[in-house]
Amino acid sequence: TVVRGVAREPVKAATAGDIVSVSVTGFIPRWTQSLVSHAKVPPVECQPIDPPVIAARASVNDSPLAGKDGKYITMNSIGERLEKEALTNPAIEIEQSPNRDYFEIRGRGEM
C-alpha cells in the first residue's frame, strides 16, 4: 500500500520517495530491520542513535482517586502499552523494576 496525499492505494511496486505500508506475518519487525527483495540482497545497516537523555518512572497510583479515571489503570495494562510504543518508537527504552512495581522510561526529545 502506498500513501498518496490522505489516501492509500494498493500497488505492486513503489519508487523512491513513496511512503509504503507493508504487512508481514510470523514476526513483529523492529524499526532497525530492513526489508529486502531477495535473500541474496544485503540489508541496509541501521545507523546508531544517540542514547536517551531523560528518564521518568511510571508507578502504581496509590492516591485516593486511584482507578477512577483513565484507560490504563493497572501496571500490566501500562506495561503492555509501553511495550507496544517501544516497538515503533526508537527514541524510548522501557525497563521494569526488579520488584515489578514501576517502569523506568528513558527517552530523547519530548516524552
| Sequential pLDDT tens for the chain (111 residues) | 777 778 888 888 888 778 777 777 887 777 677 777 788 888 888 877 788 889 999 887 777 877 677 666 778 888 898 998 888 788 889 999 998 889 999 998 765
Give the chain's length: 111
User: Strands 19-20, 2-4: parallel, antiparallel or unpaired by DSSP?
Assistant: antiparallel
pLDDT of residue 41: 85
> What pLDDT is stored for residue 104 in this prediction?
94
Provide the pLDDT for residue 106.
Answer: 93
pLDDT score of 111: 58
Are 3 and 11 a contacting pair, CB within 8 Å? no
Residues 6+ apart with CB under 8 A from 34: 43, 44, 46
pLDDT at 18: 80
Burial 35-73 (b: 16+ CB within 10 A, else e): eeeeeeeeeeeeeeeeeeeeeeebeebeeeeeeeeeeee
